[in-house]
């Protein structure tokens, strides 16, 4: 599915659409969040082997990943009952304010809904951004190893 924004065409895919991007995607997410590449690869492998429906979503500008997000069981917080979680939402700085993150969030939520997986949660320090895409503040959670509580959002 391609979308024109700012006279550029971006391609939005799931990792299942192009499994050959797995290593590049794992490295890209690792470079943004500092989580070990192997952790991303493990989650991506489970998704590609159909062991889970918790997917990985990418925005490409040509052959370059410029945005992405994933879905995991728990995004490093104490509320294990609030699952699954959108994780690793990121858009390259030069590509921000073009609707890329919102499109990726909608892709993930809609993909999960089709599979009967709802609601979906995410943790963030942002206020105002996720509400634009139908997310609602749910509660505060304790992040693993974090001194301060973090905002938890829900999408039904």
| CATH code for the structural domain at 2-117 | 3.40.630.30
Task: Say if residues 82 and 141 touch (Cβ distance below 8 Å).
Answer: yes
Average pLDDT, the chain: 94
Q: pLDDT at position 105, please? A: 98
pLDDT at residue 37 tops 70 = yes
Tokens of 133: 């895409």
- Angle formed at CA 68 by CA 139 and CA 145, multiple of 5 degrees: 45
Distance, in Å, from the CA atom of 70 to the CA atom of 90, rounded to the nearest integer, reads: 10
Q: Hey, where are the domains in the chain?
A: 2-117
Task: Say if residues 66 and 92 touch (Cβ distance below 8 Å).
Answer: yes
CA-nearest of 100, 97, 26 to 56 is: 26
The SS3 assignment for 8 reads: strand
Distance, in Å, from the CA atom of 20 to the CA atom of 155, rounded to the nearest integer, reads: 30
Model confidence pLDDT, tens digit, residues 83-117: 999 999 999 999 999 999 999 999 999 999 999 99
Distance of CA 26 to the CA centre of its chain: 13
| Percent residues over pLDDT 70 in the chain | 96
pLDDT at residue 5 tops 80 = no
* Sheet architecture: strand order including 85-91: 2-5, 8-14, 56-61, 64-72, 85-91, 120-124, 149-155, 136-142
**149 against 8, higher pLDDT:** 149
């Amino acid at each position: 599915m391609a979308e024109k924004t700012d006279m550029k065409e971006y391609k939005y895919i799931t990792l299942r659409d192009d499994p050959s991007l797995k290593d590049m995607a794992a490295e890209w997410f690792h470079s943004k969040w500092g989580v070990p590449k192997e952790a991303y690869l493990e989650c991506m492998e489970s998704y590609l082997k159909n062991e889970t429906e918790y997917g990985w979503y990418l925005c490409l500008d040509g052959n370059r990943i410029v945005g992405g997000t994933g879905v995991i069981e728990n995004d490093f917080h104490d509320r294990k009952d609030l699952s699954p979680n959108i994780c690793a939402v990121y858009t390259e700085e030069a590509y921000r304010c073009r609707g890329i993150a919102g499109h990726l969030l909608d892709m993930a939520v809609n993909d999960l809904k089709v599979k009967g997986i709802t609601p979906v949660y995410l943790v963030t320090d942002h206020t105002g951004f996720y509400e634009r895409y139908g997310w609602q503040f749910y509660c505060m959670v304790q992040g693993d190893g974090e001194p301060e509580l973090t905002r938890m959002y829900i999408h039904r």
